[in-house]
Amino acid sequence: MTQKNVLLVEGVADRDFFRELCKTLDLSTEIQVAPPKDLGGTHNTKQGVLNHLRGVLLPQIEDGQIQRLAIVVDADYAGAHGLGVAGTLNQIKEIVKPFGFELPENEIFPKGFCFKHSDGLSDFGAWIMPDNTNEGMLEDWIKSCIVRSEQPLFGYAKEAVAGLSARSLQKFKPIHSTKAEVATWLAWQRWPKYGIEYVFSKDELLVDKDSSLYQDLTNWLASIFKNNS
């Protein structure tokens, strides 16, 4: 039986983003990056990820179909429409514990979560966007990692998005302001209308590889899919 490595993400945009990131790390041939629907799941959402994790992927770890597994989900915002970091982490803990995975006491949360297995299976990884500490989503991670040369243009994009509310033209929810800022900024690039994966453009890298948050995410990916025996 061929074992596979799976990185489960919330949706198509996240899939395309992480596929490009994995290419920069020479991991693209080692990891299947997919949202739930690509793997037979029902919904491309955070709950879709967690449901597919419990019902399908963790059992496949147990029977050897999957060797290494990790998920990336948004923290979103605590309250009526989200769980925040703490709520999301608690839900993940409850799902993986019956399958033998628990966090070690010395886990450094901002660096990404690596759950250890009681019988020595490969670590299960979880990253809660943007940084395992603050509420938000993938676009907040991008916003925090923008290269210095792009920050003036991004600042202008932020002003443009903020101006919509002042002119009563804003259609999106306030919690999606960062999504709108990133989308606006990307629409003003040399080749506009690309998705968020465009931040890894071969023509011009738009995120700072030396930023601590970029290093934390890439080191976490390597710890799960490269260094994990």
The full set of domains in the chain, from first to last, is 4-136+210-225 (3.40.50), 138-200 (no CATH)
Quote the pLDDT of residue 162. Answer: 93
Average pLDDT for 26-44: 92
Q: What pLDDT score does 3 carry?
A: 61
Using a 10 angstrom Cβ sphere, with 0-12 exposed, 13-18 middle and 19 or more buried, the burial of residue 84 is middle
Instruction: Please give the pLDDT value at position 112.
Output: 94
The structure's pTM equals: 0.93
Q: Quick check: 190 and 127 in contact, CB under 8 A?
A: no
Average pLDDT, the chain: 91
pLDDT value of residue 12? 97
Report how far residue 159's alpha carbon sits from residue 157's, in angstroms, rounded to the nearest whole number: 5
Confidence class for position 81, pLDDT limits 50, 70, 90: low
- Res 176 pLDDT > 60: yes
